[in-house]
Amino acid sequence: MTKEILYKIDSLYRDQFRVTGYTFGEGEKALCVVGSIRGNEIQQIYTCAHLIRTLKKLEEEGKIVPGKQILVIPSCNPYSMNIEKRFWPTDNTDINRMFPGYDMGETTQRIAAGIFDRVKDYANGIQLASFYMPGEFMPHVRMMQTGFENIELAKEFGLPYVVRRHTRPYDTTTLNYNWQIWETNAFSLYTTGTDHIDREGAQLGLEAILSFMTRRGMLKDGFVNRLESQVVEDVDLVTARAGKAGIFERYVRTGQTVQKGQLLACILSPYDGEALEEIMAPVKGTVFFASDQPLTYSSTAVFKLIP
């Protein structure tokens, strides 16, 4: 294992901003794994830490295939993580909306450019991603529909679902999109949470990465998930929204099968506990996403179902 500083910026008031990478094996740039890009992605950096520890042991045992190089970047935004802020502290910009970056631009553009210069030549790229809405997902791999996506490769993680996301204009400045444009097989890996530690979810993410590495010829005698993934189009997910603002009292969990008309949650008045609204399942299906926030606002998407 080799530890190195991939990119750094001097600071006027604090220690240097540094992006650290851990490299295993040597030769062909086979895989790059990127952990947290936002400052609240605690589960993502936690999963990367377990991956680094596991790969270090596998390398010592000689189980990394010769001629294969793997790079793991636990965090691309330690400044924001240090102060528990999701985006860049000074101007609230999102590094994952700045790729491929610009080395003469604003700070987050420079950071994105510095990172992308080090990761763009890898054959495969995995980002441990988080959703813009707080909540829990069924474990899945997500690929953007760029014309370069390879759904069959995504199945090699062995997770329950592979989601193909239709690209929106703002997606063109994300790491995943630019990886694909630069001919990297890019995957966004979602487990369960973001700003809290979930040991089972982290283990599931670790096993999915090891399964992919084994099937792609990077590991000898590695772990392989045998689960057959179901492919889901993001436009086919059915959303249930809160019509009222208030306390969000949830009755179902992700992965649970529900019937059309089944009670999913109640919105309660914060002052007297009166039920303001009952949220019913719009279709029969599987709960794919569920909000985990104690309060919700009117018109907020609180569930997504696979019909």
Question: What integer pLDDT is reported at residue 3 of this predicted model?
Answer: 98
How high is the mean pLDDT of the chain?
Answer: 95
pLDDT digits (tens, 9 = 90+) for 59-111: 999 999 999 999 999 999 999 999 889 999 989 999 999 999 999 999 999 99
Long-range pairs, 5-10, Cβ under 8 A, ≥24: 6/73, 6/114, 6/115, 6/118, 7/111, 7/114, 7/115, 7/118, 9/107, 9/110, 9/111
Mean pLDDT, range 210-234, rounded to an integer: 93
* Full-model pTM: 0.94
Could you tell me which residues come within 8 angstroms of residue 298 by beta carbon, excluding any fewer than 6 positions away? 242, 243, 244, 245
pLDDT band at 132 (very low <50, low <70, confident <90, very high): confident
Q: Are residues 213 and 243 both part of a single domain?
A: no
170, 17 in Cβ contact below 8 A?
A: no
- pLDDT value at 8 more than 90: yes
Mean pLDDT lowest among 130-144, 154-168, 293-307: 130-144
Q: Does 110 lie in the same domain as 213?
A: yes
First-to-last C-alpha distance (Å) of the chain: 45
Instruction: Name the percent of the chain lying above pLDDT 90.
Output: 86
The boundaries of the domain holding residue 24 are 2-233
- Look at the chain and report how many structural domains it folds into: 2
Q: Please tell me whether residues 64 and 165 are part of one structural domain.
A: yes
14 has pLDDT over 80: no
- Are residues 208 and 263 located together in one domain of the fold? no
Boundary-marking domain end, from 178, 205, 233? 233
pLDDT tens digits along 241-290: 999 999 999 999 999 999 999 999 999 999 999 999 999 999 999 999 99
Residue 31: predicted pLDDT: 98
Q: Which of 178, 198, 233 is the last residue of a domain?
A: 233
Query: Same structural domain for residues 74 and 133?
Result: yes
Q: Are residues 83 and 210 in the same domain?
A: yes
Whether residues 147 and 287 fall in one domain: no
Check whether 226 has a pLDDT greater than 90.
no
Domain final residue pick, 233, 253, 276? 233
Q: How far is 16 from 143, CA to CA, in rounded Å?
A: 34
